[in-house]
Structure 1
Amino acid sequence: MKSEATEDPPRRRWVAVGEWSLWQRPRHWVYFTLSTEAVTVGLTVAAFFIFPIAGDDVGLFAFLAALGLVHTEATRKIERMRRTLNVTPHINMTSVWMLPAALLLPPPLVALLAVVLYTHLGMRSWGNLEHVAVHKTVTNASTMILSCYATAFAATFFLTGPITATLDVKAISLAVIAGVIVHFLVALIITIIALYLAEPDQATPERLFGSYDDNALELTTLCLGGLMILVLMHQPVLSMLMFLPMFVLQRSMLAKQLEEMASKDMKTGLLNAVTWHNRGEREISRADRSAGEFSVLMIDLDYFKKINDTYGHLAGDDMLISLAELLKRETRSHDLVGRFGGEEFVVLLAGASEREALAAADRIRELIVELVVETRTNEGTPVTITDRTASIGVASYPTAGESLDEVLAAADAAVYVAKESGRNRVVGAANRKALVATAG
């Protein structure tokens, strides 16, 4: 059992402004981030002079802050693990408290609530995560505040005054729905721009937009926040009932992340060998029931060891990641793409004949030749890896074998023929002496 001391995040070491990791980020990202934060500060300062703060507002602020802090403290270990495992933009659960604040509190208190909640998150939930620098927490808080301001502005199109003084139930409902939509879109747009500017070379749709599950979680949290608005307006004590659903939701998301991690190759994000094989067996069963077919591509990078020996293993990893992303782009959502280890990848093309698979494999072979990978050596020197090739073997079910292992063995044997014949080739298992595609 771990001691309490090991579970608590260590104290941060204060560093000079010039040494902040912020300045190591891409220049355009720094400009954009500092600009959004400057806009946030400017709007908040202006709001202090425009929007009056009543005693009831302070009471509601304190109540929401207490709810948010209790929730964050109760789930901080779950939150820390979720943040550690995430590879796409992390979705935290503060929207369930911040959305009500956006419509029920004046903007200055909205900003203060975000500062309180994100400071607590940064210190307690993320404080011991090395990849979560202070400037990232500030950026997240700024994005939340701007999204809340946009939410409050959108609600004004449906309300003639404060939402708490509005008797029109339809107007309140429309304001809440509009708030949920606008909050989601504004946060998404800011995040997409920031992620693109941070790493434009790795700006894949999934990386920018997040997965379906990520977006569903954010919308779910905002919907709960919308319901919280009605609860706080009429029966604030019922807000206590939100804790258990939120706790279960976070635990279920953590369980899903752990399940996905167990099925994925950690380096490339593709299916690992065990998971690929298990899902491939299901494809065998499906093909048997429907008298169908499928094909397997075994892809082996040529002379991959030279990349590691010349540029270092970090550059080699980037090459593997780039190839994995290429394979995901060039296959369908129901195809199975996996990494079998080292520089060997395997693709199952559902419903594809060997002839169709050979055409797909040759297209992939040509794209690998055209692939450009911007990376760095182990010493940090920028390098560009180009003109890489791959040998690809293709085998189909049921012509190449009656089991998945037999089809894999046939594809692997075809790869061996491709390599023995000069590499940068696609070879079909049906006639291994016929080289379907050769180097141009």
Structure 2
Amino acid sequence: MWAQPSRVIVVLVIVEACTVGLMAASWSQFRPGVGPVVLAVLLAAAGIVHTEVATGVERARRRVGEKSYTDLSTVWTFTAALLLPSALATATIVVIYTYLWFRVWKPARFPLFRHTFTTATVLLAAIAAQEVVAATGGTDRWSEGFAGVTTLGAATLAYAAVNSLLIALAVAVSTPDATPSHLFGALDEITVELATLCLGAMLALTLTVSAWFVLLVFIPVLVLQRAVMYRDLAAAATTDGKTGLLTATAWNARATEAIARAHRERSTLAMLVLDLDHFKRVNDTHGHVAGDRVLAAVADALSAEVRGDDLVGRFGGEEFVVLLPGLPTARAIAELHAVAERIRVRVTTLAVPVETPDGPLTISDLSISVGGTMVSTAPGTTVEQAIALADRELYRAKDSGRNAVRIAGRPDVPTQRTEESSAELRRVQPEN
């Protein structure tokens, strides 16, 4: 943890100190009762059994889902938050997450400080949900039709909001250029988390009738867990781990489908091939970790300058490829050039902060060369043929001095470059 930037350490310490303080306060006011203690033991045992049954699935998910991970143990922690006094609820969560550490997180070699912070966010989310339940009249209100759904829904949203915002805060301070999807997760991940919370809410509701209903939750949780694992595996198989873009194999498959679709619909299709200029110098000067950060920043810039239905992929090394369907027929080449030029200009403005053994620095003065072509949608056209044409234009751009755009069928227009600094890569120390 101490190797992290100071701003990250500050957030971790504050969040965990607040958690410890609130837990201590809850235990100072705790008055033990047989019923709540039995329920706490039951939920902790259920969480442990769930972990054991799904240990293989969880470890596989951890290996393929390092950037974003949906924790289905929320079913048990959220139920504890809704039904138990604060002291017992926090104790139940600590037991479950301690067991998760030894059986799932530690074997997957995840840092202990990250697990501790995650546990703290869950504890604070549970306390927030408890406060909402208490403020809305307790569990007795849950049987009051729409009013009961509203109060239970408010507790669910409180739990989700506190947990998500705290995690987003940690991501934001550790990765200042993080996108909203990095901060809060992709839409399908948010949906799975809400589904897990709803399952926990329904379990809490049924447990007010009988503790035996806990047995009915295991099958839905395990089915949901396997469904999420398949989603993670599918995403890992098609997503480049360094940039978040499509892999070359996945991009090729989707591009083949796009060519066939463009033929059926008699629509246009265009392609760009892009290569980051002098990328080897970044790796040689600052190391491969810094190079990976640069690739990720370029990928984000590329994605930001194209449409949501354009196919963006990493083709290996520092080369990227984009397929653009449905450009206006009358001005398709001009539109393609405009997109390529926007990407080129955006890359030249990038300033990528990285941590190095010599301290923090910013990598700038990046540039990219772009080649593009309209793709024939005639029967028999292959992705490889289209890439070859775009690649030829890319080499024309590089031969012209790099940091340039060349589009097949468009007269060469000199690229408007800003005045280049004497150094292509410079260190910029952060301001105090």
User: Is the TM value for this pair above 0.5?
Assistant: yes
Distance 2:296 2:102 in 1: 33
Q: What residue number does 2:429 align with? A: none
**Which stretch of structure 1 is more off in the superposition, 276-285 or 311-320?**
311-320
Contact 2:262 2:377 in 1 (8 A): no
Q: What residue number does 1:306 align with? A: 281
Contact 1:158 1:174 in 2 (8 A): no
1:241 partnered with 2:211: no
Distance 1:144 1:381 in 2: 33
Structure 1's unaligned 5+ residue stretches are: 1-21
What amino acid sits opposite 1:154 in the alignment?
A: V
Deviations 1:206-226 (A, max 9, x none): 111111121111101100001
Contact 1:424 1:438 in 2 (8 A): no
TM-superposed CA distance for 1:61, in Å, is 0.8
TM-superposed CA distance for 1:359, in Å, is 0.3
Q: C-alpha root-mean-square deviation of aligned residues, in Å?
A: 2.1
Q: What residue number does 2:184 align with? A: 209
Q: Do the aligned partners of residues 157 and 310 (structure 1) sit closer, same or farther apart at CA in structure 2, a change above 3 Å counting?
A: closer
Q: Do the aligned partners of residues 51 and 314 (structure 1) sit closer, same or farther apart at CA in structure 2, a change above 3 Å counting?
A: closer
TM-superposed CA distance for 1:299, in Å, is 0.6
What amino acid sits opposite 2:116 in the alignment?
A: V
1:96 partnered with 2:75: yes
Q: What residue number does 1:189 align with? A: 165
Counterparts of 1:115-126 in structure 2 under 5 Å? Answer: 115-126=94-105
1:287 partnered with 2:287: no
Q: What residue number does 1:417 align with? A: 396
Contact 1:40 1:146 in 2 (8 A): yes
Q: Percent identity?
A: 37
What is the TM-score normalised by the length of structure 1? 0.88
Counterparts of 1:331-346 in structure 2 under 5 Å? Answer: 331-346=306-321
Q: What residue number does 1:134 align with? A: 112
Q: What residue number does 1:198 align with? A: 174
Counterparts of 1:65-84 in structure 2 under 5 Å? Answer: 65-84=44-63
Q: Do the aligned partners of residues 135 and 301 (structure 1) sit closer, same or farther apart at CA in structure 2, a change above 3 Å counting?
A: closer
TM-superposed CA distance for 1:407, in Å, is 2.4
TM-superposed CA distance for 1:205, in Å, is 1.4
Q: What residue number does 2:27 align with? A: 48
What amino acid sits opposite 1:334 in the alignment?
A: D
Q: Do the aligned partners of residues 166 and 246 (structure 1) sit closer, same or farther apart at CA in structure 2, a change above 3 Å counting?
A: closer
User: Aligned match of 1:393 in 343, 360, 371?
Assistant: 371
Q: What residue number does 1:168 align with? A: 144
Distance 1:166 1:261 in 2: 41
TM-superposed CA distance for 1:438, in Å, is 4.7
Q: Do the aligned partners of residues 140 and 357 (structure 1) sit closer, same or farther apart at CA in structure 2, a change above 3 Å counting?
A: same
1:224 partnered with 2:199: yes
TM-superposed CA distance for 1:423, in Å, is 1.6
Q: What residue number does 1:373 align with? A: 352
4+ residue segments displaced more than 6 Å:
none
Q: Do the aligned partners of residues 326 and 166 (structure 1) sit closer, same or farther apart at CA in structure 2, a change above 3 Å counting?
A: closer
What amino acid sits opposite 2:196 in the alignment?
A: T
Q: What residue number does 1:16 align with? A: none
Find the residue that maps to 1:208 and give its secondary structure.
Answer: helix
Q: What residue number does 1:428 align with? A: 407
TM-superposed CA distance for 1:109, in Å, is 0.2
What amino acid sits opposite 2:10 in the alignment?
A: Y
TM-superposed CA distance for 1:402, in Å, is 4.5
**Which stretch of structure 1 is more off in the superposition, 326-335 or 358-367?**
326-335
Distance 1:167 1:299 in 2: 60
TM-superposed CA distance for 1:123, in Å, is 0.9
TM-superposed CA distance for 1:329, in Å, is 1.8
Find the residue that maps to 2:370 and give its secondary structure.
Answer: strand
User: Aligned match of 2:301 in 326, 332, 336?
Assistant: 326
Q: Do the aligned partners of residues 91 and 285 (structure 1) sit closer, same or farther apart at CA in structure 2, a change above 3 Å counting?
A: same
TM-superposed CA distance for 1:267, in Å, is 2.4
**Which stretch of structure 1 is more off in the superposition, 203-212 or 49-58?**
49-58
1:112 partnered with 2:91: yes
TM-superposed CA distance for 1:403, in Å, is 4.1
Contact 2:341 2:405 in 1 (8 A): yes
Contact 1:418 1:435 in 2 (8 A): no
Distance 1:47 1:115 in 2: 14
Distance 2:361 2:119 in 1: 36
Distance 1:188 1:311 in 2: 34
Distance 1:231 1:421 in 2: 71
What amino acid sits opposite 1:385 in the alignment?
A: I
Q: Do the aligned partners of residues 364 and 40 (structure 1) sit closer, same or farther apart at CA in structure 2, a change above 3 Å counting?
A: same
Counterparts of 1:14-33 in structure 2 under 5 Å? Answer: 22-33=1-12
Q: Do the aligned partners of residues 403 and 171 (structure 1) sit closer, same or farther apart at CA in structure 2, a change above 3 Å counting?
A: same
Distance 2:241 2:10 in 1: 32
Distance 1:309 1:42 in 2: 47
Find the residue that maps to 1:374 and give its secondary structure.
Answer: strand
Find the residue that maps to 1:266 and give its secondary structure.
Answer: coil
Distance 1:128 1:60 in 2: 30
What is the TM-score normalised by the length of structure 2? 0.90
**Which stretch of structure 1 is more off in the superposition, 367-376 or 70-79?**
367-376
Equivalent pairs, count: 413
Deviations 1:107-138 (A, max 9, x none): 000110011000000111112232x2222222
Find the residue that maps to 1:278 and give its secondary structure.
Answer: helix
Find the residue that maps to 1:248 and give its secondary structure.
Answer: helix
User: Aligned match of 2:40 in 61, 64, 74?
Assistant: 61
Find the residue that maps to 2:217 and give its secondary structure.
Answer: helix
Contact 1:104 1:163 in 2 (8 A): yes
